[in-house]
Chains A and B, each alone.
Chain A
Amino acid sequence: MGRVSGNILGLLIGPFESFGFMRIALVACFALALANGPIGILLLMRRESLNGNVLSHAVMPGAAIGFLYAGYSLAALTIGGLLTGLAVAALAALSAGSRWQRQDSSLIAFYLVSLSFGVLIVAARSSQADLMHVLFGTVLAVDVKALLLIASISSVTMLVVAALYRPLAVESFDPAFLRAVGGGGGVFRAIFITLVVLNLVAGFQAFGTLLAIGPMLLPAAAARCWTNKVWSMIALATIFGMAAALAGLLISYYANLPSGPAIVIGAGAIYGVSLLAAGRIRLKPRSLRGQR
């Protein structure tokens, strides 16, 4: 018994003990999960998952241009991604309230075009391997500098969410009310979108432009199945995100698979299980379930 559990522990911890890049990848994913928990939940609450997806692709052309000029330079990728992401967010903010913003088709069109644009830019200079790197990221290539960037973005995100949690939540529920009571209106939307872009840029290094939204949305969607309280949802989403990262990294290590997709599939599996579990628990609508 003791030997077996010892072996299992060895299997779980061994890779991180032996390889620095695995440790850094794990810490980076944990840091991402900490910030992605609240951001993902707020995205879901606002019913803006599609916008999040679009933003994640908006990061692509900028990052690609940065890549074109400076190769694998963290600074260039980050600044490029940040600039295009924020530019698109600003455009979206300017058009807020106009009819254009509500049309899913223009959002989809935008994300397809910016994705293709980014791919063309990368392909113009470099190889298939680079393209794969930009599209799907390489968690295992995260170095200490990138880790510091991710950790900083994650810390800033958590501080801002903690300080401005109330208006952020109310703005996603009833923006007209918040504006009427003078709670700020557009400012919080701008802050929130900036946070989303920041976290997408942080996730870009690890998960690439196609998957960066995955670790943000999937644990959040899974947490939504288990509880009605926003705080517990955020805590659960963070835990799910960390569990998916751990499982994905181990699977990718032992099965020799790409780690970004493995982590996202791990998160997807958690979501699937949560859906099933929630379906079983909530056969009866809540209002009929032995209240009083």
Chain B
Amino acid sequence: MTNSPDPAPRHRFASDMVSRVRAAAAPVRHSLAVSLSALGDHAQAALVRCFDNGYDPDASDGQSRRAEEGIAVRNLSARYGERFAFEGLTGEFAPASLTAVAGPNGAGKSSLLKALAGIIRPAAGEVTCAALARHRLAYLPQQDELDRGFPITVAELVALGDWRNFGAVREPGQRLAADVEEALAAVGLSSVTDRQIAELSVGQFQRALFARLLLQDADVILLDEPFASLDESTTEDLLRFLQRWQGEGRTVVAVLHDLDQVRKYFPATLLLARSPIAWGGTSLSLSADNLARAQEALDPSQDARIGWVA
């Protein structure tokens, strides 16, 4: 039985090994990047479409060029099996708007966001969103949809936001570390840069995801219950980002359940209860009459009947 060695050299040995393995993999990556660029135009386009579609360093040359883009939907429906998640939605999330999507549980709010983000295929109708095609759309799922046990540090998580500048195989740029630091400082997480995400609290994790959104610099930002189970000060901080993004000309859509919050911060609201109840200015959309109709549309007796299918 030997004494366990001093942790410092052991750690150095481990990181040494890692960097060696990295160094060994680097030529492979490099040659892939080189062969990508050496291929004929046609073949290269096809390969890039498959493997490295997100590499687009020109996408964010200067904020001034931000194309103010909204999302238009026409007769949009999505379903799970037999049951419609939502149906018959027509309208537009205007460019540079800040819209809340509200409604009772099971109203199809999350499904709508997924359909807008292109994650689920609509059962009918269509979504028109130029930002989606250009990969300038960011989607933040509900927290429990992400694997918090994944071994990745906060800095690494945030750095992923810069994907368009390194893509699948390229070396990250020089500025990345500084950008990550800046984004983490903006969300107030500078002290936990090198922690594993598993060690963060729910609020800290959401802040980290917002830092990734900052780096992602998308034109359209979709957020699913971004403030669920967060404390008040975190919610306040993050709400400020939503307003800032709208001010910068981005289109922001957030699913929310806190109606007071919606009334206070969101100019426009879509009230959804499987079919659209109201879509427009918040005070009009959230009138007592509309809220009652939304409840009625999903009344308990009907829920009970559907319950056994789900």
Kindly list chain A residues whose C-beta atoms are within 8 Å of the C-beta of B80.
99
State whether A173 touches B150 (Cβ < 8 A). yes
Task: Looking at the assembled complex, report how far the CB atom of B214 sits from the nearest CB atom of chain A, in whole angstroms.
Answer: 14
Mask of A96-135 contacts with B, CB within 8 angstroms, 1/0: 0101000000000000000000000000000000000000
A45 proximity list for chain B (CB < 8 A): 150-151
Question: B residues within 8 A CB of A183?
Answer: 52-54, 163, 167-168
Chain B proximity mask over A228-239: 1 for CB below 8 Å, otherwise 0: 111111110000
Residues of A within 8 A of B276 (CB): none
Partner of A159, one of B28, B51, B52, B53: B28
Query: Interface with B: A162-170, A192-200, A254-262, which one?
Result: A162-170
Partner of B199, one of A97, A170, A173, A286: A286
Does B124 lie at the interface of the complex (its beta carbon under 8 Å from any beta carbon of A)?
Answer: no
Q: In the complex, A184→B47 CA distance in Å?
A: 11
Interface presence of A69 (CB below 8 A): no
Interface assignment of B118: CB less than 8 Å from any CB of chain A: yes
Residues of chain B with a CB closer than 8 A to A50's CB: none
Q: Which of A269-292 contact B (CB under 8 A)?
A: 285-287, 291
Q: Provided the pairs A163-B32, A180-B138, A181-B135 are in contact, do residues A235 and B168 lie with their beta carbons within 8 angstroms?
A: no
Given A176-B119, A184-B51, A286-B199, check contact A231 B168 (CB 8 Å). Answer: no
Interface residues of B in 3-32 (CB under 8 A from A): 14, 17-18, 21-22, 24-25, 28-29, 32
- Contact between A177 and B160, CB atoms less than 8 A apart: yes
Whether A174 is near chain B, meaning CB under 8 Å from some CB there, is: yes
Q: Is the CB of B169 within 8 A of A176?
A: no
B:141-172 near A, CB below 8 Å: 141, 145-147, 150-152, 160, 163-164, 167-169
Minimum Cβ distance to chain B for residue A46 (Å): 9
Which residue of B18, B81, B169 contacts A164 across the interface (Cβ within 8 Å)? B169
B81 lies within 8 A of A99 (CB):
yes
Measured CB to CB, the closest approach of chain A to B249, in angstroms, equals: 19
With A and B bound together, what is the CA distance between A177 and B160 in angstroms?
Answer: 9
Interface string of B47-76 (1 = CB under 8 A from A): 000111110100000000000000000000
Of the candidates A176, A181, A227, A234, the one whose C-beta lies within 8 Å of that of B141 is A176
User: When chains A and B are docked, how far (Å) is the Cα of A285 from the Cα of B199?
Assistant: 9
Say yes or no: A235-B17 contact (C-beta < 8 A), given A166-B168, A182-B53, A228-B196: yes
Complex Cα–Cα for A165 and B32 (A): 12
- Report A46-74 CB contacts with B as 1/0, cut-off 8 Å: 01000000000000000000000000000
Q: Which residues in A have their C-beta under 8 angstroms from that of B139? A: 176-177, 180
Chain A residues whose CB sits within 8 angstroms of the CB of B56 once the complex forms: 182
CB pair A182 B54 closer than 8 Å? yes
The range of chain A's interface size is 35 or more
C-alpha gap A45/B218 in the complex (Å): 28
Chain A residue contacts of B169, Cβ below 8 A: 163-164, 166
Report the Cα distance A246→B31, complex, angstroms.
Answer: 35
Is there an interface contact between B29 and A173, defined as CB atoms closer than 8 Å? no
Q: Which residues of A contact B152 (CB under 8 A)?
A: 173, 230
Q: A173-B147, A287-B199 are in contact. Are A167 and B29 (CB under 8 A)?
A: no
Residue B137 at the chain A interface, CB threshold 8 Å: yes
| B117 at the binding interface (Cβ < 8 Å) | yes
Complexed CA–CA distance, A164 and B29 (Å): 8
> In the complex, which of the residues B29, B51, B167 contacts A187, with contact meaning CB atoms closer than 8 Å?
B51
Secondary structure dominating the interface of A = helix
B21 near A167 with CB under 8 A, answer no
Which residues of A lie under 8 Å from residue B14 when comparing CB positions?
227, 229, 232
Residues on B with C-beta less than 8 A from A286 are 196, 198-199
Is there an interface contact between A181 and B163, defined as CB atoms closer than 8 Å?
yes
Q: Find the A residue at minimum CB distance from B141.
A: A176
Q: Is B120 an interface residue (CB 8 A)?
A: yes
Contact of A229 among B120, B135, B151, B167 (CB under 8 A): B151
Contacts of B167 in A (CB 8 A): 183
- B191: nearest chain-A partner, CB-CB: A292
Please state if A162 and B29 are interface contacts (CB–CB under 8 Å). yes
Quick check: is B246 within 8 A (CB to CB) of the other chain? no
Inter-chain contacts of B120 with A (CB < 8 A): 97
Asked if B135 contacts A182 (CB within 8 A), the reply is: yes
Shortest Cβ distance from B28 into chain A, in angstroms?
4
Residues of B within 8 A of A178 (CB): 54
Residues of chain A within 8 A (CB-CB) of B138 are 180
A180 contacts B28, CB within 8 Å?
A: no
Residues on A with C-beta less than 8 A from B24 are 162
For this complex, 17 residue pairs linking A to B, each with C-beta atoms less than 8 Å apart, are: A45-B151, A162-B28, A163-B29, A173-B146, A173-B150, A176-B141, A177-B139, A179-B118, A180-B137, A181-B164, A182-B163, A183-B54, A183-B168, A228-B196, A229-B18, A231-B22, A285-B199
Please give 8 more A-B residue pairs, beta carbons under 8 A apart, in addition to A163-B169, A167-B168.
Answer: A45-B151, A97-B120, A164-B169, A176-B117, A181-B163, A228-B151, A233-B151, A286-B199
Interface residues of B (CB under 8 A from A): 14, 17-18, 21-22, 24-25, 28-29, 32, 50-54, 56, 80-81, 117-120, 135, 137-139, 141, 145-147, 150-152, 160, 163-164, 167-169, 195-196, 198-199, 216, 218
Q: Which residues of A are in contact with B by a Cβ distance under 8 Å?
A: 45, 47, 97, 99, 159, 162-167, 170, 172-174, 176-184, 187, 227-235, 285-287, 291
Sorted nearest first, the 10 A-B pairs with minimum C-beta distance are A182-B54, A182-B135, A181-B163, A162-B25, A182-B53, A181-B54, A287-B199, A183-B54, A167-B168, A162-B28
